[in-house]
């Protein structure tokens, strides 16, 4: 009997350990591969002449996964890091500010002030065409929340309330919400601490678009599955605090768009040669990397929120000497001194529910074996 119990206990341990890879662990491993794939597949396109239609340009969004993995100073990936000279539009100001934040630098105080002045009376921020935009508003909210503790987000939140679609989602165009835009807005809402009805309705909208294969697909003009919608939907769900280990099909669907080097296709038509993109593209890949970063480390923007000092995660207020923009720094920004990110507060719990089910199953098997053994001995007697 003792031998049987010992054997079954060993089997239980092995069973549990074999399922120890969660969405968090998987995403961290894949993100490392994807970053290497980006260097392999795309670095040359960043070195092309400006006149070449295939030239790629550094962008703030590429810095997002580098911040998560602590690679912002890695010489292999400096080609992805942008420099925004004299930004003027809301979009350029937001990107310049958030690039500094992701690089753990103090934002330029003049740029922060300029972005604040871009806000319209109704609380919105406008796109490059001069129209109110929920995406521009959401990202401006993130930049200002992280860069200026005295900024009041109430007007922006009121604008987003008024812009919400009947289905609970968001979109700058059309009557229906889109998965992409809604995911972006959810990050903005979460960072400014608006975690009530707006964020919950947006989460319900995202989950309502899930198909049998885990793809997140909207309606109307947004009724096709693609990696960008999948990425932004996942980012939004994580911002809302969803445990993505409980949405394994959604995560697996995102992984289905990966090529052998770890870069992302846009959609199935692209894979088959019928789509707009004929190969994995940087647009789909950087959004895919952002989703992998959040799956692995939690929402990256939320990780930049000021944190209280602890014995395990030291924090510090940025000193004026760290300012690379030759202007007075904003005084509110408190950041983690370590270059790598801490364990996330949302999106990737330390103990997925699957472990509980596996443990229960293992115990049931163990009890069954014991009972069968006892009964067998009695029958022999």
Digit-coded pLDDT (tens) for 261-303: 899 999 988 877 776 666 788 999 999 999 999 999 999 999 9
pLDDT value at 13 more than 50: no
Q: Is the C-alpha dihedral spanning 104, 109, 111, 117 positive or negative?
A: positive
With cut-offs at 50, 70 and 90, classify the pLDDT of residue 325: very low
- Tell which wins on pLDDT, 218 or 328: 218
CB of 290 within 8 A of CB of 231?
yes
With cut-offs at 50, 70 and 90, classify the pLDDT of residue 174: confident
CB of 8 within 8 A of CB of 365?
yes
Q: What is residue 223's predicted lDDT score, i.e. its pLDDT?
A: 85
Q: What is residue 182's predicted lDDT score, i.e. its pLDDT?
A: 97
- Tokens 């958030």 -> residue: 98
Q: What is residue 143's predicted lDDT score, i.e. its pLDDT?
A: 96
Q: What is residue 345's predicted lDDT score, i.e. its pLDDT?
A: 38
Kind and range of the H or E run holding 43 = helix 23-46
CB of 96 within 8 A of CB of 138?
no
Kind and range of the H or E run holding 181 = helix 179-191
With cut-offs at 50, 70 and 90, classify the pLDDT of residue 149: confident
User: Would the pTM of this model clear 0.85, i.e. be above it?
Assistant: no
pLDDT in tens, 96-122: 999 999 999 999 999 999 999 999 999
- Side-chain-side CA neighbours of 365 within 13 Å: the count stands at 15
Q: What is residue 109's predicted lDDT score, i.e. its pLDDT?
A: 94
- Tokens 């209280």 -> residue: 308
Dist CA 206 CA 204 (whole Å) = 6
Dist CA 59 CA 80 (whole Å) = 7
Q: What is residue 62's predicted lDDT score, i.e. its pLDDT?
A: 96
Quick one: what percent of the chain has pLDDT higher than 70?
73
Dist CA 33 CA 365 (whole Å) = 38
- Tokens 């894949």 -> residue: 30
- Tell which wins on pLDDT, 143 or 354: 143
Those residues whose C-beta lies under 8 Å from the C-beta of residue 378, and which sit 6 or more positions away, are none
Q: What is residue 340's predicted lDDT score, i.e. its pLDDT?
A: 44
- Tell which wins on pLDDT, 285 or 378: 285
Dist CA 278 CA 42 (whole Å) = 14
- 170 bridge partner residues: 178
With cut-offs at 50, 70 and 90, classify the pLDDT of residue 319: very low
Q: What is residue 68's predicted lDDT score, i.e. its pLDDT?
A: 96
Q: What is residue 231's predicted lDDT score, i.e. its pLDDT?
A: 97
Widest Cα–Cα separation across the chain: 91
pLDDT value at 153 more than 80: yes
pLDDT value at 368 more than 90: no
- Tell which wins on pLDDT, 38 or 371: 38
Domains in the chain with CATH codes: 1-22+352-381 (no CATH), 26-348 (1.50.10.20)
Q: What is residue 369's predicted lDDT score, i.e. its pLDDT?
A: 57
Question: Phi and psi dihedrals of 166, rounded to 5?
Answer: -60, -30
- Tell which wins on pLDDT, 354 or 150: 150
pLDDT value at 313 more than 60: no
Q: Is the C-alpha dihedral spanning 371, 377, 380, 381 positive or negative?
A: negative
- Tell which wins on pLDDT, 308 or 88: 88
* For range 34-39, the mean pLDDT: 96
Q: What is residue 92's predicted lDDT score, i.e. its pLDDT?
A: 95
Kind and range of the H or E run holding 125 = strand 125-126
Within 277-337, strands assigned E span 315-317, 334-336
* For range 222-235, the mean pLDDT: 94
């Amino acid at each position: 009997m003792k031998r049987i119990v010992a054997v079954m206990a060993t089997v239980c341990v092995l069973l549990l350990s074999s399922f120890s890879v969660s969405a968090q662990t998987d995403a961290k491993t894949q993100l490392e591969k994807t970053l290497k794939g980006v260097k392999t597949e795309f670095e040359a396109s960043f070195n092309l002449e400006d006149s070449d239609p295939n030239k790629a340009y550094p962008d703030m969004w590429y810095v997002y996964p580098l911040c998560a993995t602590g690679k912002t100073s890695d010489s292999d990936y400096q080609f992805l890091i942008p420099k925004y000279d004299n930004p003027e539009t809301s979009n350029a100001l937001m990107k310049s500010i958030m690039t500094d934040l992701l690089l753990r630098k103090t934002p330029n105080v003049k740029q922060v002030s300029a972005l604040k002045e871009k806000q319209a009376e109704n609380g919105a921020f406008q796109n490059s065409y001069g129209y109110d935009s929920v995406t521009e508003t959401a990202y401006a909210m993130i930049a200002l929340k992280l860069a200026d503790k005295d900024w009041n987000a109430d007007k922006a939140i009121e604008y987003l309330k008024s812009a919400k679609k009947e289905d609970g989602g968001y979109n700058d165009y059309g009557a229906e919400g889109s998965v992409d835009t809604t995911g972006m807005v959810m990050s903005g809402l979460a960072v400014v601490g608006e975690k009530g009805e707006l964020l919950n309705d947006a989460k319900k909208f995202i989950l309502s678009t899930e198909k049998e294969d885990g793809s997140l697909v909207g309606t109307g003009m947004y009724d096709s599955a693609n990696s960008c919608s999948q990425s932004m939907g996942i980012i939004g769900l994580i911002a809302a605090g969803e445990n993505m280990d409980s949405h394994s099909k959604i995560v697996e669907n995102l992984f289905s768009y990966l090529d052998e080097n770890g870069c992302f296709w846009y959609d199935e038509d692209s894979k088959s040669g019928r789509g707009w993109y004929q190969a994995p593209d940087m647009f789909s890949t950087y959004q895919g990397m952002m989703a992998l970063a959040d799956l692995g480390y939690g929402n990256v923007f939320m990780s930049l929120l000021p944190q209280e000092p602890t014995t395990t995660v030291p924090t510090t207020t940025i000193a004026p000497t760290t300012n690379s923009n030759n202007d007075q720094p904003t005084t509110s920004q408190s950041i983690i001194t370590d270059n790598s990110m801490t364990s996330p507060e949302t999106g990737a719990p330390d103990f997925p529910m699957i472990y509980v089910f596996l443990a229960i199953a293992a115990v049931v098997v163990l009890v069954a074996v014991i009972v069968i053994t006892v009964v067998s001995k009695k029958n022999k007697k």
